[in-house]
């Protein structure tokens, strides 16, 4: 390499019009034969490579494309297939087995799925229980050959590194980690030898786990891993790629025996400070992540050019690569078709294709001087200035309120014990009150009506009547089932974040801004582009209508500020903390509107609180402090008798129990049924003195649980929790379930509750 070049780490799989998703789902539905599926996927894959080639990217990634998930690709490449799927252990894993691991089949449950670091992408967790791994298919080699033969591209194979792969796997004890490294490193070595023999020049080995805390013993394993891999293929250039944060042990990592190191320079200035303080080895290439691969805003090209020039003062241009901070998997494909947005916003968007263009412009500006790309720099500056000077980003009342956050109510008027007494007198609920989390089945007719209404094919009044009919139906059903606290069912809502974003100022929605969440499941995150402001009540009408149909309390249902923040693309000109306060203050107005309308039980859900944690534990406290404050800003300005509920998904509860307690919600419900025992253990070690409901059955499965299962779950919880503070509920919303199974499961839940209530009455009576 003689001069500064551009690189990319990965490209979205889904296709500009979600062609990938449609092909997969057609195959799963039996409408596409396997051979045709693979043909269609090859066409999509080659198109993506051609886009990168035409954009002018010098080092183009290959083997980042997947049939479902890149971690599942790695596991099956090494023959790591759970025994229940019946894989013979010989030859490439069949497509049918591959998809069974991801989705399950009639004979075997799917493997677990979890978040990819702190992104909203989910990967399939490899199960290593007693695995005997071997290299059954060299996927990177196949991808390299295809790109070279079909398009003349000298590709850069992408591999998930052994340390990260094993850290993200399950089915072993910590004491077995070193032995697993010894099992897998020879397989990686074999893979790399085959790439070297093929004439591959660069291989990108992704090790994002190195940005987390790595123990001394484990880092010694990392050093051993890369010494062995470098020795196995000495003619190959290994690029050790990290992202999502700065690395923990900078000097030791850049000294690893590889030919290149990839660092993320978009998360604060830690990586830059490390580089300028400790320098960089003279025999290595630095792949500098300059363009944010996780957000959708145009980069400030002059600022980024200045950043690369600072880096180039330490690492000469001939040993420097300019690239996105991470794979572009996390952003939509192209912003070209986004018509209908305000010009100030649409011009400022940069999806994957636009980010490739930015990388090329920055590299050229550094290599040839800014005069070579003057027009692009000037246009970029004008676009950013227009957005920043727009009315949407300069709502003085919002900014003043955030600046004076200390004057806003952020704690309840009374402590929990006093509120509990007031609420007990106000509501007179039975022992072990029962409720649900909020949503009821969104059947085909509900989805169809909403779609017709959105398209203008169904007028407002008929649509409102339709929604009210469903609310009335489910209020009646809840009363018949015997629930104590009811909900309206959320039939008017699509997504729990989108619904509120559409009703708050400062949000925008794309037509085609899809990103992969897991498998073929794609989501279209809202864009928080301006100052967030409450304009009018969002949930009052439906909730008040539901309350008019029953004498039992009906909960108002809101999505919390941190979940709205974490599940959106967020503006980057101010901090996430400031944005969270803007959302919180807007939601506080909705809470007051509900309370003023007579709704005095209000649930503000925060399922994404835990997943927003920074990757570095040292940064947790700051995040949790402002996240808790945002929640409390939303919920504190209410009477003692108004009962605030929240809901969370199971989240290593013990890690953040102090922060969850600090939310000061009167009742928290937690999705637990798949990890009930682990959570009960947490409560054995930590007391929790506020109201709580541990989900007593798993809503993710269509099966109706037996009464005995639920009574056992309730009984276990009541051994470590105060029965007077305990609520009975499913573990999550029921939006995706069928009507019959929902009703049957809730009837079973009520039956189990009555049994436990009776047991306590008998115990009190000494029977």
Q: Which residues are annotated as a binding site for 5-methyltetrahydropteroyltri-L-glutamate?
A: 18-21, 115, 120, 521-522, 567, 611
Q: Extract the annotated binding site for Zn(2+).
A: 647, 649, 671, 732
Query: Residue 579 and residue 528: Cα distance in Å, rounded?
Result: 9
- Contact in structure between 211 and 231 (CB atoms under 8 Å): no
How far lies 369's CA from each of 6, 38, 372, 373, in Å? 15, 44, 6, 8
- Contact in structure between 93 and 79 (CB atoms under 8 Å): yes
Helices (H), 29-116: 34-55, 70-77, 95-103
Of the residues 70, 488, 645, 700, only one is catalytic, namely: 700
Straight-line distance from the first to the last Cα atom of the chain, in angstroms, rounded to the nearest whole number:
85
Backbone angles phi, psi at 15, to 5 degrees: 90, 150
**Which residues are CB-neighbours of 727 under 8 A, at least 6 positions away?**
432, 433, 434, 435, 667, 669, 691, 692, 693
**Which residues are CB-neighbours of 754 under 8 A, at least 6 positions away?**
none
Query: Residue 657 and residue 352: Cα distance in Å, rounded?
Result: 38
Residue 700 annotated as catalytic: yes
Query: Residue 322 and residue 301: Cα distance in Å, rounded?
Result: 13
- Contact in structure between 454 and 494 (CB atoms under 8 Å): no
Q: Extract the annotated binding site.
A: 18-21, 115, 120, 437-439, 490, 521-522, 567, 605, 611, 647, 649, 671, 732
Strand partners, 237: 202
Residue 373 is classified by DSSP as: G
Residue 705 is classified by DSSP as: P
**Measured torsion, CA atoms of residues 566, 567, 568, 569, in degrees rounded to the nearest 10:** 70
Q: In which element (H, E) is residue 356 found?
A: helix 352-368
- Contact in structure between 103 and 90 (CB atoms under 8 Å): no
Residue 714 has a CB neighbour count (10 Å cut-off) of: 22
Looking from the CA of 471 toward its CB, the CA atoms found within 13 Å total: 23
Nearest to 757 by CA among 482, 420, 427, 478: 482
Residue 84 burial (CB < 10 Å; 0-12/13-18/19+)? middle
Backbone angles phi, psi at 654, to 5 degrees: -65, -25
Residue 349 is classified by DSSP as: B
Q: Extract the annotated binding site for L-methionine.
A: 437-439, 490, 605
Q: Extract the annotated binding site for L-homocysteine.
A: 437-439, 490, 605
Backbone angles phi, psi at 264, to 5 degrees: -95, 120
Catalytic residues: 700
């Amino acid at each position: 390499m003689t001069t500064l070049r551009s690189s990319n780490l990965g490209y979205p799989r889904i296709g500009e019009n979600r062609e990938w998703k449609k092909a997969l789902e057609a195959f799963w539905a039996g409408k596409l034969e396997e051979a045709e599926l693979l043909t269609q996927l090859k066409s999509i894959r080659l198109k993506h490579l051609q886009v990168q080639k035409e954009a002018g990217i010098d080092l183009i990634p290959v083997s980042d494309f997947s049939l479902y998930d890149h971690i599942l690709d790695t596991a099956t490449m090494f023959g790591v297939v759970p025994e229940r799927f019946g894989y013979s252990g010989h030859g490439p894993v069949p497509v049918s087995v591959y998809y069974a691991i991801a989705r399950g089949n009639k004979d075997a449950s799917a493997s677990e799925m979890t978040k990819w670091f702190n992104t909203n992408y989910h990967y399939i967790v490899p199960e290593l229980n007693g695995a005997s791994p071997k290299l059954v298919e060299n996927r990177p080699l196949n991808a390299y050959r295809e790109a070279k033969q079909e398009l003349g591209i000298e590709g850069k194979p992408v591999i998930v590194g052994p340390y990260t792969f094993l850290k993200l796997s399950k089915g072993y004890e910590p004491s077995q980690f070193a032995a697993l490294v010894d099992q897998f490193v020879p397989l990686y070595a074999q893979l790399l030898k085959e790439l070297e023999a093929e004439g591959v020049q660069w291989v990108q080995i992704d090790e994002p786990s190195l940005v987390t805390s790595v123990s001394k013993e484990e880092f010694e394993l990392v050093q051993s891993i890369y010494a062995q891999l470098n020795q196995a293929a000495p003619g190959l250039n290994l690029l050790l790629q990290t992202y999502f944060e700065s690395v923990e042990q900078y000097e030791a990592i850049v000294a690893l025996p590889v030919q290149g190191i990839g660092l993320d320079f978009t998360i604060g200035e830690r990586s830059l400070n490390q580089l300028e303080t400790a320098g960089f080895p003279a025999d290595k290439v630095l792949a500098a992540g300059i363009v944010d691969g996780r957000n959708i805003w145009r980069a400030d090209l002059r600022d980024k050019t200045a950043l690369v020039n600072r880096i180039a003062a330490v690492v000469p241009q001939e040993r420097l690569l300019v690239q996105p901070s991470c794979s572009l998997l996390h952003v939509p494909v192209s912003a070209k078709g986004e018509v209908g947005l305000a010009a100030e916003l649409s011009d400022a968007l940069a999806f994957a294709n636009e980010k490739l263009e930015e990388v090329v412009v920055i590299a050229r500006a550094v290599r040839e001087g800014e005069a070579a790309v003057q027009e692009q720099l000037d246009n970029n500056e004008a676009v950013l200035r227009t957005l920043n000077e727009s009315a949407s980003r300069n709502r003085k009342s919002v900014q003043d309120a955030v600046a004076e956050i200390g004057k806003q109510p952020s704690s309840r008027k009374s402590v929990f014990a006093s509120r509990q007494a007031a609420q007990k007198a106000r509501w007179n609920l039975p022992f072990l009150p029962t409720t649900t989390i909020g949503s009821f089945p969104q059947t085909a007719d509900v989805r169809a009506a909403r779609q017709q209404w959105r398209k203008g094919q169904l007028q407002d009044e008929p649509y409102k009547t339709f929604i009210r009919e469903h609310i009335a139906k489910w209020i009646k059903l809840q009363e018949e089932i015997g629930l104590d606290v009811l909900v309206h069912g959320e039939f008017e809502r699509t997504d729990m974040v989108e619904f509120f974003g559409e009703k708050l100022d400062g949000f925008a929605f794309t037509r085609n801004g899809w990103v992969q969440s897991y498998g073929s499941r794609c989501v279209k995150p809202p864009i928080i582009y301006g100052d967030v402001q409450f304009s009018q009540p969002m949930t009052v009408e439906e909730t008040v209508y539901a309350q008019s149909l029953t004498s039992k309390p009906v909960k108002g249902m809101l999505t919390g500020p941190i979940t709205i923040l974490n599940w959106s693309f967020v503006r980057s000109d101010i901090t996430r903390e400031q944005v969270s306060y803007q959302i919180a203050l807007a939601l506080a107005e909705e809470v007051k509107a509900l309370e003023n309308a007579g709704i005095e039980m209000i649930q503000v859900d925060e399922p994404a609180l835990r997943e927003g944690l920074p990757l570095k534990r040292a940064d947790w406290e700051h995040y949790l402090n402002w996240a808790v404050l945002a929640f409390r800003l939303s919920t504190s300005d209410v009477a003692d008798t108004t009962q605030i509920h929240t809901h969370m998904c199971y989240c290593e509860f013990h890690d953040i129990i102090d922060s969850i307690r600090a939310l000061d919600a009167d009742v928290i419900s937690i999705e637990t049924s798949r990890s009930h025992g682990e959570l009960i253990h947490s409560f054995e070690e930590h007391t929790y003195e506020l109201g709580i409901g541990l989900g007593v059955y798993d809503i993710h499965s269509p099966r109706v649980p037996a009464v005995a299962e639920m009574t056992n779950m309730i009984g276990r919880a009541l051994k470590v929790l105060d029965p007077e503070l305990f609520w009975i509920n499913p573990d999550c919303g029921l939006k995706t379930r069928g009507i019959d199974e929902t009703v049957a499961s809730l009837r079973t839940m009520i039956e189990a509750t009555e049994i436990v209530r009776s047991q306590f009455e008998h115990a009190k009576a000494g029977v």
